[in-house]
Amino acid sequence: MERNGKYMKERESFGSRLGFILVAAGCAIGLGNVWKFPWMVGENGGGIFVLIYFVFLLLLGFPILIMEFSLGRASQASPVRLYQKLEKKGQKWHIHGYGALIANVLLVMFYTSVSGWILYYFINFLMGNMTGISEIASKNLFSDMISNPIVSVGFVAIIVLLGFLILSFGLQNGVEKVTKYMMIALVLLMIVMAVNSFTLSGAKAGLTFYLKPDFGKINGGVVVAAMNQAFFTLSLGIGSMAIFGSYIGKERSLAGESINVLVLDTFVAIMSGLIIFPACFTFDVEPTKGPELLFGAMANVFNNMNGGRWWGSLFFLFMFFAAMSTIIAVFQNILACVSEITSWKRGKTCIICGISIFVLSLPCALGFNILSDITPFTSGSSILDLEDFLVTNIMLPLGALCYVLFCVSKYGWGFDNFLNEANTGKGLKLKSWTRYYLKFVLPVIIIFVFIVGILNFEFTDNFTIMGWLKSII
């Protein structure tokens, strides 16, 4: 359709409710579930962390998820435009819409590199290059990968090309269809690997550590860590969920749909632990190894396991599915925002966005080789550290705070409008008394998460994964 010389089109929608749930869950399910969650459990007392994490997931993640879905569905617009549809005349809430777009771009600027690393390891396990190699050789494989600019940039290019190729087929035939198959494959792979982990000699000790809460290990650090993980696991605050809310109808209440997404997200996180901890206790790997757990310790575990080549391949394959489900979802968010701003056709938007994201991803990919002299914080930091800090510590909590205040404040959309949208359709309903929690308690918790995240950010050589990477190069 042509209107005022610009290309206009009917808004896309999901083909099924299952498609919406799996795509939204796929966005939430990422490396935070299958990588960060297990080593956070290991560093914070095992089962007691898991228990506290569940509590904060309901208190913190659940209501913000409902809000993002509500804003998307009510506005039928991308994060960059939703405020303009819902805010009152003269208000400036829409400024955050552009901030959300920037945050999504920043996220994929380093997520493409990490996804490329996982794909690289999958290929090496599949080809048998990891079979029988020493721990030193395993570390050298990683350092050789990230220090080689051709390899680093090449795998980023593959990730970007694959992502936008899928998006070029549209929401239903591309994003929804591919993500559905990936999520089903992800769940099946994890079940198979979990069953195999149960047969290992250290399974009982590993599962006891993982699932049995030790209340003697409760302290302020454990509580704060669980709170942070519950907040960040769903990638709330940058419109990643709002965009998918804009593609669904009003047949179902959004609290019920949010529960479905939370259950699937939590299932994947729990299954990751069921895979990793029995292996750690069997092969005497410290579950507190932190970021090294993925590319260092687990790679060596599979080298010592019967059929390790194939189990390692399956492990990094499900890791790749988890990473790509997030990549595709965030790419779709960026695509929708740019499309609404420019009114370009989908094909043109995919090409321009794909090239732009590839170029913007280069600093991170080159940050361990050609651009390794750029150290934003200390001598051990990298460009990835800076990008991760901006998204995780700044944009996610402040963005979530904006969404919450907009939904509950009379100077924004207002609680009544939010409650009406959230409760429209069949399913679980929010009660009116939640107004007081959402208006007065939830913003305080988010502000606390933000302040703690800033105060606890250690500008040292060993703060993030980059510290470990630097130590083995």
User: Is residue 427 a contact partner of residue 257, using CB atoms and an 8 Å limit?
Assistant: yes
pLDDT band of 433, cuts 50, 70, 90: very high
pLDDT band of 468, cuts 50, 70, 90: very low
**Per-residue pLDDT reduced to its tens digit, 89-99:** 989 999 999 99
8 pLDDT above the threshold of 60: no
The class (CATH top level) of 19-472 is mainly alpha
Helix/strand/coil (H/E/C) assignment for every residue in the chain? CEECCEECCCCCCCCCHHHHHHHHHHHHCCHHHHHHHHHHHHHCCCHHHHHHHHHHHHHHHHHHHHHHHHHHHHHCCCHHHHHHHHCCCCCCCCHHHHHHHHHHHHHHHHHHHHHHHHHHHHHHHHCCCCCCCCHHHHHHHHHHHHHCHHHHHHHHHHHHHHHHHHHCCCHHHHHHHHHHHHHHHHHHHHHHHHHHHHCCCCHHHHHHHHHCCCHHHCCHHHHHHHHHHHHHCCCCCCCCCHHHHCCCCCCECHHHHHHHHHHHHHHHHHHHHHHHHHHHHHCCCCCCCCCHHHHHHHHHHHHCCCCHHHHHHHHHHHHHHHHHHHHHHHHHHHHHHHHHHHCCCHHHHHHHHHHHHHHHHHHHHCCCCCCCCCCCCCCCCCHHHHHHHHHHHHHHHHHHHHHHHHHHCCCCCCHHHHHHHHHCCECCCCCCCHHHHHHHHHHHHHHHHHHHHHHCCCCCCCCCHHHHHHHHC
Rounded to an integer, the average pLDDT of 180-199 is 88
32 pLDDT above the threshold of 70: yes
Q: Which of 143, 160, 136, 221 is nearest to 350 (CA)?
A: 160
Least confident of 95-99, 103-107, 232-236: 232-236
What is residue 378's predicted lDDT score, i.e. its pLDDT? 79
Give CA–CA dist 84/407, Å, rounded: 14
Structure tokens at 328: 């595709």
Rounded to an integer, the average pLDDT of 335-343 is 93
75 pLDDT above the threshold of 50: yes
What is residue 112's predicted lDDT score, i.e. its pLDDT? 95
Higher pLDDT pick, 277 / 355? 355
pLDDT band of 471, cuts 50, 70, 90: very low
Give CA–CA dist 449/445, Å, rounded: 6
414 pLDDT above the threshold of 90: yes
406 pLDDT above the threshold of 60: yes
pLDDT band of 7, cuts 50, 70, 90: very low
Cα 59 → chain centroid: 19
Where is mean pLDDT largest: 281-285, 319-323, 419-423? 419-423
Is the backbone of residue 425 left (phi > 0), alpha (psi -120 to 50) or beta? left
**Residue type (1 letter), 62:** F
Mean residue pLDDT across the chain = 86
Give CA–CA dist 264/186, Å, rounded: 11
pLDDT band of 35, cuts 50, 70, 90: confident
From the CB of residue 150, how many other CB atoms can be counted at a distance below 10 Å?
Answer: 8
Q: What percent of the chain lies above the pLDDT cut of 90?
A: 46
Structure tokens at 241: 């969920």
Q: What percent of the chain lies above the pLDDT cut of 70?
A: 90
Give CA–CA dist 413/235, Å, rounded: 22
What is residue 292's predicted lDDT score, i.e. its pLDDT? 61
pLDDT band of 465, cuts 50, 70, 90: very low
The residues facing 252 across adjacent strands are 426
Rounded to an integer, the average pLDDT of 257-281 is 89
In terms of Cβ atoms closer than 10 Å to its own Cβ (0-12, 13-18, 19+), residue 347 is exposed
Structure tokens at 130: 């990891």
What is residue 314's predicted lDDT score, i.e. its pLDDT? 87
What is residue 293's predicted lDDT score, i.e. its pLDDT? 60
Rounded to an integer, the average pLDDT of 232-259 is 91
User: Is residue 419 a contact partner of residue 430, using CB atoms and an 8 Å limit?
Assistant: yes
**Residue type (1 letter), 160:** V
Q: Which of 370, 463, 462, 469 is nearest to 141 (CA)?
A: 469
Give CA–CA dist 315/75, Å, rounded: 40
Where is mean pLDDT largest: 229-233, 245-249, 361-365? 361-365
Least confident of 80-89, 303-312, 331-340: 303-312
Higher pLDDT pick, 441 / 129? 441
432 pLDDT above the threshold of 80: yes
The residues facing 2 across adjacent strands are 7
Entry field: residues in the chain: 473
Q: Which of 326, 321, 324, 347 is nearest to 335 (CA)?
A: 347
Structure tokens at 453: 């995240």
What is residue 6's predicted lDDT score, i.e. its pLDDT? 40
**Per-residue pLDDT reduced to its tens digit, 77-90:** 999 999 999 999 98
Least confident of 99-113, 162-176, 289-303, 352-366: 289-303
What is residue 463's predicted lDDT score, i.e. its pLDDT? 43
Structure tokens at 4: 């005022």
